[in-house]
Chains A and B, each alone.
Chain A
Amino acid sequence: MRLNKTATAAVAGLIMLPLAACGSTTATTGSGSAKSGATLTYWASNQGTSLDNDKQVLSPELAKFTKQTGIKVNLEVVPWADLLNRVLAATTSGKGPDVVNIGNTWSSSVQATGAFLPFDDATLTAIGGKSRFLAGSMSATGVAGQPPAAVPIYSMAYGLYYNKKQFKAAGISSPPKTWDDFVIDAKKLTTPSHWALSLEAGSKTENIHTAFTLSQQQGGSFFDSSGKATFNTPQNVAALKQYVDFMQTDKIVNPSDAQYSNGTEALKDFATGTTSMVFWQAAQASLKQLGMSPDDIGVAPVPLPAKLPAGGRPVTSMVAGINLGIFKNTKSKDAAIAFVKFMTSTPEQEVLNKTYGSLPSVTDAYSDPAFQTPNVLVIKDVLSNSAAPMPQASGESQFEKLVGAAMSSLFADAATGKPVTNGQIAGALAAAQQQVTN
């Protein structure tokens, strides 16, 4: 086929057209003072038991906001599977919501795209000041030294949820504090018809959260101080191996769990008594919804090694939580800031966190007795004392996807009877590391 000259020229000309028409997304600075009567678009994350449930929880609060300020809010609740992609798509296209929930671990990646409004000192003052927030949660808002890309609204940490009734029946008097005790107890609880632990082993997010914690305990880290990926290290390999061994060596996890990828199945197994333990964030509310009797719900910090290896840190959880951010392109900057102020106000913090079973991210909300029950205090203690923020590097979201996927794959191997060795884990981590571009 020979395109004649005219055709070639025509095609070339037509290519130039869209390139000329498009430009970089320009940041529109917020329009002045007219904020009352504005309408905000808000993408909320799925914190409740279903998208509908979130709508029911949030709508009355948003109505309160409209009553106070005259600003209307269009709510869309986005499932977790879609949220990161939607946020990044909005970043590319310049078309997105005004305010959005993000997983706090995404803060650095989102910060690097430059699409979010930085919370500089002026903005932080406008919402009530930086000192109101929990220090731990504030550390997970972007790269250290730069203004936060988003502010925390719900704070959470992982705990070891255990079934008190089943523990008692097995003769275990208290939840395990060390990994050795954990495995011993788990083996006691595992019978031919019952598994001790359920893992959401097909879920990228759950996998890397646990991997991170175990890696911290081993003294490892996934990024160095300059933000470069350091996945393939002996400490990280040891951490992942320990995790996969629960299924392949200790045999306290049902191999079928390698298929669990929704973010709901492992918890459901625990709630129905199919398993006795699960590592989860802020599960109290969901467990009640799933029908578990509150008396049976026990929570303790995730175990630590009996003796920390050299460089190991006593970390039992990553700093989990949801941050609220403002898109730079928003046409109603003042309205958006007012919304953030509303969501981080003490009354709202109390109401929303009570409903969702998470912890407030502002210190003055803790006086509410709802946040003083034993189970909540365990989590609060973890959050304040033994939680570390996930790496705040711009490659973080890639880390979640790549290493998370690698771990799901390793679990699949373990489940189908293929032994997972240190060498394989190292190879998988190396492959993931190579694909991080930042």
Chain B
Amino acid sequence: MPHHGAGEELVVDTIKTKVDSVRAPVSADARVVSGQAPVKPARPRKRRRQWLPYVLLIPAVVMELMIHIIPMLIGVMMSFFKMTQLYLGNWRQAPFAHLDNYRLAMDINQPAGKALLHSFVVTIAFTVLVLVFSWSLGLFAAVLTQRPFRGRGIVRTLLLIPFALPIFASVITWNFMAQRDTGVINHVLVNQLHLTQGNPFWLIGGNSFITITLVVIWRTWPFAFLMMSAGMQSIPADVYEAAVLDGAGIVTQLRRVTLPLLAPVNRVLVLVLFLWTFNDFTTPYTLFGDTTPAQADLISIHIYQNSFGTWNFGTGSAMSVLLLLFLMVVTGFYLVLVNRRTDSA
């Protein structure tokens, strides 16, 4: 099994995972070979051509610098200044704030820090739930539609619609559905199924967490379904045939063949889903508008309201930097974890 040394190459290749041809011993215990397209040894290129790759990269590098790297560095810088509405007109005169913004954000005994921690916890809970349910439903549906049956094409197409809809359209619809007095959710629960009495609120109060989690699961699971379906498509039939010959039933096939071979796809899928869900701003913003309930105070909208909402850009930037650090740590851990598992495979 091609084994690359730890380091950048492995990281890069892991991130670049795609489901490739499987070269595995045929057995019920199919092992995963995390392979990549065989890398051809670089042909010695003529010296004078070596400027071309750099030139081709220039537009991307310029854009990345301009819209990612530099703004991020400016954002980091801003977190060390007291950038409030008073200094917006002439922000060069904003006073240097040392670590005050960070202290404010991280002091969990004070209201601001406490609120940030609370928001963080809410976001973690939300992300985990969305991830677990989206992935599970995606896998469930992918397995169910793996083999052809009549109407499979239509079913697949319909199930993808939530992901295809622009986010604001679907969230506005859910907002309408969750209205206390005029929405379908309460109509069904209270008037038709009589499951509960007295119209509950779905957009304020404790239920708002359930609502936003449900909305995001609704929108996200089709993506997991899509990715895993695609991944499954490229598992050759003979692997399954061999497993069947060995006496494996459907569930065993799932455990021993499908999941291991989907591992490369899943590695990326889980990471991407985590990042997208954790950073989601559009959903809470469209679902709750300006008044986000504390129980559904996701971190991106929390930071937005504490920077643009109150024009305290110093603290807002500090919180964004903290968020970034957290995500980097998590991603780092994840990649290390994932690489170690591939190493030991």
Contacts and interface: CB of A to CB of B under 8 A. Distances in A.
B90 A25 contact: yes
Main secondary structure of the interface of A (DSSP, over half): helix
Nearest to B312: A437
Given A15-B73, A261-B289, A92 B89 contact: yes
B84 A438 contact: yes
Interface string B92-120: 11000000000000000011101100000
Contacts of A408: 291
B296 to A, nearest CB: 11
B291 A434 contact: no
Given A261-B291, A398-B311, A409-B294, A431 B89 contact: no
B306 A24 contact: no
A407 to B, nearest CB: 10
B144 interface: no
Contact of B311 (A88, A202, A259, A416): A88
B205 A261 contact: no
Contact of A261 (B179, B206, B290, B308): B290
B310 A402 contact: yes
B8 interface: yes
Given A405-B291, A435-B306, A91 B88 contact: yes
A127 to B, nearest CB: 24
A88 B85 contact: yes
Interface residues of A, number: 49
B201 interface: yes
B293 interface: yes
Given A258-B201, A261-B291, A431-B112, A397 B85 contact: yes
Contact of B312 (A19, A23, A432, A435): A435
B310 A398 contact: yes
Contacts of B69: 11
Contact of A14 (B65, B89, B180, B306): B65
Interface in A6-33: 11, 14-15, 18-19, 23-25
A401 B291 contact: no
A372 to B, nearest CB: 39
A45 B114 CA distance: 37
Interface string A82-108: 000100100110100000000000000
Nearest to A329: B89
Given A409-B294, A435-B312, A18 B201 contact: no
A194 interface: no
B124 to A, nearest CB: 21
B203 interface: yes
Interface in B47-71: 65, 69-70
A161 B119 CA distance: 40
A112 B70 CA distance: 30
A437 B290 contact: no
Contacts of B199: 256
Contacts of A1: 8
A171 B146 CA distance: 72
B201 A112 contact: no
A277 interface: no
Contacts of A131: none
B162 to A, nearest CB: 25
A163 interface: no
Contacts of A430: 111
A416 B308 CA distance: 29
Interface in B1-56: 8
B85 A114 contact: no
B137 interface: no
Interface in A406-438: 408-409, 412-413, 415-416, 418, 427, 430-432, 434-438
Interface of A: 1, 11, 14-15, 18-19, 23-25, 81, 85, 88, 91-92, 94, 109, 112-115, 202, 204, 255-256, 258-259, 261, 394, 397-398, 401-402, 405, 408-409, 412-413, 415-416, 418, 427, 430-432, 434-438
Instruction: List 6 A-B pairs, minimum CB-CB distance, nearest first.
Output: A431-B111, A416-B205, A24-B90, A412-B204, A92-B88, A434-B111
Given A397-B85, A405-B309, 13 more contacts: A81-B290, A109-B85, A115-B89, A258-B204, A398-B310, A415-B204, A416-B204, A416-B205, A431-B114, A434-B111, A435-B310, A437-B82, A437-B315
20 contacts: A18-B74, A24-B90, A25-B89, A25-B90, A85-B308, A92-B89, A109-B85, A112-B86, A114-B89, A115-B89, A259-B180, A259-B201, A261-B290, A409-B293, A416-B206, A431-B115, A437-B310, A437-B315, A438-B84, A438-B86
